[in-house]
């Protein structure tokens, strides 16, 4: 149910210069989805009345805006043409909050690890205070703003490390930057922020001092440090990726998936694995994969945009590309690639084959080295292989072509015409045997080699 008293502002205008990338920082992927996509999904899970994404100027900002609309089409957009700090960024979102008088939750597009439970706890704290901040106990507080508590357990001040005393620097309770404030309070206090700091920026954290100056309480909610990790460079991106992968693997194992070596398996944010699925080492699931119960995926497979039905077996060293469907009990074996194709129930493509833009009928058998020749240099064409058909090894099926049910294609054939059901198709040169030819050839070549060596 939508919370009419909640709006969410996501700050996503940072330049991300330390990423050293042409891609805007918040668009870098984690588990196959942009960091901004993760934050927007979290925001949507809270059912807010409004979501506002603050993006930067130019094409970089336009890319962020497109990504925001991709994941949450109803999100409002606000441009921060000049990057003057977090307080200034929230000010750009205020016009999109006209007529809204509830609570405003401020999130960051480069902080993708927060959980719904943590934010719900923060919102509960904010119910009884005009301002609430999210803090965490840091293993190493270096570089973080410290949260100084008042006698009542609320936040008395946020002290940046460069401004902290020796005693304050020993404080390990740190500021995440996430906070909740009343919309009316934001409209009143944000214009009072001053850029009296080394960066010459308007800091959102200064709201704490302004609120305390009015004699009002600033509530505190806490979470694990892991959830607050932001991304400023590639090393931090890798750290966040490891954490997300660990979460995804643990969730899958709790639901009945067996990983032979969990740390070597890569999952995407939307990977769906059924019960009694067994996954070997070094398997990668790109976005868009659904795997039913009792499936075995052997080591070193790569799946993306694929559906695998119950009891199927994949790999090892198989690749399922977007549009691949492997139906119940089917087998896709080692060094087989399947793209935009259906391998129907009980069919076998056991090794060294490419099946693209095709249908492999029930219980059909595809021999090693078979290729569906689906591309003519301009257009893609389909191959249809009927139920129970047998395709001999090293065959090329030149699409568009149909192989009828129960038909047999002889090994080494190149098939360019439709094959009726239960027929034999064979296309190869007649075998010719010349007795003694190999011995004469070797003798001739040996003599030629000796002449060259003698310089004759």
Which residue numbers are catalytic? 351
Contact indicator for 321, 306 with CB cutoff of 8 Å: yes
| E strand or H helix that includes residue 50 | strand 48-55
38 SS3 class: helix
Under a CB-based contact definition with an 8 Å cutoff, are residues 8 and 49 in contact? no
Tokens for 338, please give them: 């399947």
CB 382 within 8 A of CB 359: yes
Which phi and psi (to 5°) does residue 225 adopt? -55, -40
Write the CA distances from 3 to 38, 48, 100, 103, integer angstroms: 20, 5, 12, 10
Q: Which backbone phi and psi does 293 adopt, to 5 degrees? A: -65, 155
Cα(116)–Cα(255) distance, integer angstroms: 20
Sign of CA dihedral 163, 166, 167, 169: positive
Rounded Cα gap, residues 104 and 89, in angstroms: 14
The secondary structure element, H or E, covering residue 334 is strand 331-334
* Cα separation values, 380 from 104, 336, 372, Å: 51, 19, 11
H/E stretch holding 297 = strand 296-297
What is the phi/psi pair of residue 348, to 5°?
-130, 125
Furthest-apart CA atoms within the chain: distance in Å: 107
Burial class (CB in 10 A: 0-12, 13-18, 19+), 268: buried
The tally of CA atoms less than 13 A away on the side-chain side of residue 374 is 18
Give the count of beta carbons closer than 10 Å to the beta carbon of residue 333: 20
Find out whether 177 and 168 touch, Cβ atoms under 8 Å: no
Q: Kindly report the length of the chain.
A: 456
């Amino acid at each position: 149910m939508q919370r009419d008293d909640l709006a969410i502002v996501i700050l996503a205008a940072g330049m991300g210069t330390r990423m050293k990338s042409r891609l805007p920082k918040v668009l870098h992927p984690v588990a196959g989805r942009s960091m901004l996509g993760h934050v927007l999904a979290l925001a949507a899970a809270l059912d807010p009345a409004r979501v506002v994404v603050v993006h930067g100027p130019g094409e970089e900002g336009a890319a962020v805006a497109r990504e925001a609309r991709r994941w949450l089409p109803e999100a409002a957009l606000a441009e921060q043409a000049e990057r003057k700090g977090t307080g200034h960024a929230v000010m750009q979102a205020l016009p999109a909050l006209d007529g809204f008088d509830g609570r405003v939750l401020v999130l960051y597009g480069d902080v993708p690890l927060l959980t719904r439970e943590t934010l719900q706890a923060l919102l509960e704290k904010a119910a009884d205070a005009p301002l609430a901040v999210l803090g965490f106990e840091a293993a190493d507080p270096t570089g973080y703003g410290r949260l100084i508590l008042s006698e009542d357990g609320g936040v008395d001040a946020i002290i940046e490390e460069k401004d902290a005393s020796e005693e304050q620097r020993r404080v390990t309770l740190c500021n995440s930057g996430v906070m909740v404030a009343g919309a009316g309070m934001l409209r009143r206090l944000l214009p009072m922020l001053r850029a009296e700091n080394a960066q010459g920026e308007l800091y959102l954290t200064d709201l704490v001092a302004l609120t305390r100056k009015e004699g009002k309480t600033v509530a505190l909610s806490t979470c694990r440090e892991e959830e607050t990790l932001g991304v400023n460079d590639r090393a931090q991106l890798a750290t966040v990726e490891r954490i997300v992968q660990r979460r995804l693997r643990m969730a899958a194992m709790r639901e009945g998936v067996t990983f032979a070596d969990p740390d070597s398996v890569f999952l995407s944010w939307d990977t769906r694995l059924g019960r009694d699925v067994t996954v070997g080492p070094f398997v990668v699931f790109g976005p868009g994969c659904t795997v039913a119960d009792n499936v075995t995926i052997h080591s070193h497979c790569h799946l993306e945009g694929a559906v695998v039905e119950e009891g199927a077996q994949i790999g090892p060293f198989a690749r399922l590309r977007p549009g691949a469907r492997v139906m119940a009990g089917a087998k896709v074996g080692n060094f087989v690639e399947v793209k935009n194709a259906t391998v129907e129930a009980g069919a076998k493509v056991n090794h060294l084959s490419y099946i693209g833009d095709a249908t492999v009928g029930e219980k059909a058998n595809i021999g090693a080295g078979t290729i569906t020749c689906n591309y003519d240099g301009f257009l893609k064409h389909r191959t249809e292989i009927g139920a129970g058909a047998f395709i001999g090894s090293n065959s090329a099926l030149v699409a568009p072509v149909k192989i009828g049910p129960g038909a047999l294609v002889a090994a080494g054939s190149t098939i360019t015409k439709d094959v009726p059901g239960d027929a034999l198709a064979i296309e190869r040169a007649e075998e010719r045997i010349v007795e003694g030819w190999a011995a004469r050839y070797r003798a001739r070549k040996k003599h030629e080699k000796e002449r060259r060596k003698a310089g004759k």
